[in-house]
Structure 1
Amino acid sequence: MQDGIITKSTGSWYNVRLEDGQIIPCRIGGKFRKDDKRLTNPIAVGDKVKVETDVDEEGAGAIRKIMPRDNYVVRQSPRKKHSLHLIASNIDQAIIVTTIAQPKLKQGFIDRFLLMTEPFNIDTVIAFNKVDVYKEEDIDTLAYLQGVYEDIGYKTLILSATKGHGLDDLKVLLKDKTTLIGGQSGVGKSTLINAIAADLDLRTGDISDYSGKGQHTTTFAEMFELPFGGLLIDTPGIKNLSFNYLELADVAHNFREFFAASSDCRFGGSCLHRNEPGCAVKAAIEEGEISELRYFNYLALLDEVDEQNYWERRNV
C-alpha cells in the first residue's frame, strides 16, 4: 500500500495524491468508523490515507486506511439536519473571504464561520475582498469591523482580487501552510484564488442581477497546490452554517472575548450571558469593552442552537 492525501471528494469517488505526486481516483475499500459522530461522509479533503493502487484495469485505487487526524472542521449537513458533514482535515489555518459590498455584507456570517473553526483551535483570518468597489460608507464599516475583530485577536486582510491589492500579503500568509478557504457565494473567492495562482483557472460566477447574491461556482471541496508553496482547500460557496453539534455552553466558550471575561461572572463558566445576575460580559458591553454587534450575533446563535437542539436534548 502507498501513502496519499485526499485532494478531492465527490461523494463516492476520491482523488488521492500519492507521495510521488501522481493523482489517482479511489473508492473506499471497506467500512470505516465515523468516531461515533453522525457523519454523512467518513473521509474529507486533507485526510492522510493508505491506498491500494491499480485495483482495476482503469488504474483506480482503494482507500484501505485513514490515518489519525490532527484536526478537522465539520458543518451541519445541508441535506440531513441531524447529521454532520466533514469539510476538511489536517489544516493549519482557515480564511473566511467576505466583502462589504457586491453582495452586501451579512456580518453575522463572519461570527458563524468563526464558530465553526474556533472549537477546533484553528487560526482564522478574515479577508475583506472587493475593496475597489467600496463606497465611503463601506470604508467606514470596514474600519469598524477591522477594529472589532483585531481587538480580540483575529487577523484581517484587505484585498481586491481584480486590482491586485493585498495579494502579496495573502501569498505570505498562505506560503507553506495548508489553508481552508471559505465564504458565501459571490464574495469573489474563486477570482481571488485565480489571482494568486492563475494556472488553477477556477470557474468564477457573477452576482445575480435579480437577487444581488452570488451564484455557486464550487461544487465539491478540493485541494490545490500553490505555485509559491502551500496547499489550499477550496470549499463550496456556503449559504449558511448551522450548529446541531454544539451545546449552549459551546457557543459561549467559543466567543473568545466572552470566555475571557466569564471568569469574573458570578456563575463563572456556566454563565450564558443572557439575563444572569452579576454577568461580567454584559457589564463589559455596557462599558464598551466588548462589541455589542458581536453580542447580538451571539444571542441569535444561542437562541438558534437552543431551539434546534431542544428535543434532542430532552430525549437523550
Structure 2
Amino acid sequence: MTDERRTGVVMRATGSWYEVACDGCRIRCRIRGRLRLRGVRSTNPVVVGDSVECLSDENGDWTIVDIRPRRNYVIRRASNLSKESHIIAANLDRALLMVTLQAPPTPPEFVDRFLVTCEAYKVPVVILLSKADLQDPAAMAAFRAVYEGAGYEVAEVSTRDGRGLERVGELLAGRTTLLSGNSGVGKSTLVRAIDPSLDIRTGELSESHGKGRHTTTFSTMYPLSGGGAVIDTPGIKGFGLLDIDRDELWHYFPEMLRTAPGCRFYNCTHTHEPGCAVREAVAEGAIDAGRYESYLKILDEDDKYRK
C-alpha cells in the first residue's frame, strides 16, 4: 500500500495533536520528530495557520512531515523561558488586538509590545476597544487619541449594544484574522456575536480577582459563514519580545519612524543624543510619553535577555 500525502492548513493545535483541513475534510495529525528539532528555539514548531504536508501510514494514521514557508506570524517570548519562543499563529492577513481599559484593564505595555511584534513581522493590526458600553468615554477618547495619533485604527466594540460589530465584520470578511488579547476582554464572545453559528465557549470574569478566566484552551481557526476565518487564541498574560534588533526597535513605533528623519544623527537611538527629534516630539506632546516609555522599557528588557 502506498503512503498517501495531503497538503492542508492547520486549524487547531493542542501541542500533541493537530487538526488539518485539506481536500474538504479534516484529518487528525501528529508531527514528525525532526520538525521539533527544526524549531528548537520554539515551544510549538507547528501552529494554527501553517500550510503543512501530511503523510499517512499503513494504519491510516497521519503525520505532519513538512511545513511550507510562512509569509508572516505573530511571536512572543515563551513564559519563563527567555531563549524560547512561542508562535501564536501564522500566515495572517490581519490581527485584531482586543483591549479593555477596565473590567479587566489591559496594561499599556502589553498593547505596545503586541503592536511592535505585528510591525516587525508585517502583520497589519487594528485595535478593538472592547466592552465599550462599560468603559469611561473620556478614557476611551484619550486612548484613541494616542493610538490613532500613532497611526493605528481603533474601533470601539460592544457585544451588548452592537457598537462596532459591523466594522469588525468588514475587517474579518474574506481574510484570515488573528484575534488576540488578555483573558477576559471578550474574544470568544465577539466571535460568537459576529457568527452565531460558531460553537465557541465564553466565560465571565473572576469575581474574586476581577480578571478574565481562560475560556479558549487551544488556538483554533474558525471558518466564517460570510467568508474568511478567525483564529481565536487563549488569553495572553504577558507579551515578551524576541529577536528584535535593539537598533531597529524604533522602526516599529510608527510615530517615531515618521519623526526620526529630523534627528541630528542618522544612528540616533532616541535615548540620549543631542538634536533628537523624537525626544523633542515627546517633550512637546507630539509623541505620547507613555508610548515612548514603552520603547525605553523594551530596550531595557532586551538588555536583560541579550546574552
| TM range, smaller chain | over 0.9
Question: Counterparts of 1:160 and 1:289 in 2: how far apart (Å)?
Answer: 30
Listed as ranges, the gaps of 5+ residues in structure 2 are none
Give 1:95 shift: 0.5
CA separation of 1:36 and 1:196: change in aligned 2, threshold 3 A: closer
The answer (yes or no) to whether the contact 1:76–1:245 under 8 Å persists in 2 is no
- Which of 3, 6, 14 is the equivalent residue of 2:7? 3
Q: Per the alignment, in what secondary structure is the counterpart of residue 198 of structure 1? A: coil
Residues 185-240 of structure 1, C-alpha deviations (whole Å, 9 max, x = no match): 11111111111122222111221222211111122211110111111111110000
Instruction: Measure, in 2, the Cα distance between the counterparts of 1:203 and 1:56.
Output: 37
- Residues 1:181 and 2:182 are matched in the alignment: no
Q: Any idea what SS the aligned residue of 2:225 has?
A: coil
Bigger shift: 221-230 or 63-72?
63-72
User: Which deviates more, 71-80 or 125-134?
Assistant: 71-80
Partner of 1:65: 66
The change in CA–CA distance for 1:68 and 1:33 in structure 2 (over 3 A counts) is: farther
Match of 1:291 in 2: 288
| Aligned position for 1:146 | 144
- Which residue type is aligned with residue 109 of structure 1? F
Give SS of 1:245's match. coil
Q: Which consecutive residues of structure 1, in runs of 5 or more, have no partner in the other structure?
A: none
Residue of structure 2 equivalent to 1:12 = 16
- Tell me the distance in 2 between the aligned counterparts of 1:33 and 1:23: 23
Aligned mates of 1:35, 1:251 — CA distance in 2: 27
- TM (norm. structure 1) is 0.90
In the TM superposition, 1:1-316 aligns within 5 A as 1-20=5-24, 22-32=25-35, 38-53=41-56, 55=57, 57=59, 59-134=60-135, 138-268=136-266, 270-309=267-306, 312=307
Whether the 8 Å contact between 2:12 and 2:48 is mirrored in structure 1 is yes
Structure 1 CA distance for aligned equivalents of residues 64 and 250 of structure 2: 39
1:19 alignment partner AA: D
SS where residue 202 of structure 2 aligns? coil
Determine the C-alpha separation between the residues in 2 that align with 1:17 and 1:56. Answer: 21
Q: 2:221 touches 2:232 (CA, 8 Å); kept in 1?
A: yes
Q: Partners of 1:62 and 1:140 in 2: how far apart?
A: 53
**What is the CA distance between 1:307 and its match in structure 2?**
2.2
Contact 1:38/1:83 (8 A) holds in 2: yes
Q: What is the CA-CA distance between 1:101 and the residue it aligns to?
A: 1.9
**1:162–1:195 CA contact under 8 A, matched in 2:** no
| Counterpart residue type for residue 41 of structure 1 | N
Shift of 1:293: 1.8
Partner SS for 1:193: helix
Give the AA of the match of 2:275.
G
Contact 2:151–2:255 (CA<8 Å) still a contact in 1? Answer: no
Of residues 235-244 and 286-295 in structure 1, the stretch that sits farther from structure 2 once superposed is 286-295
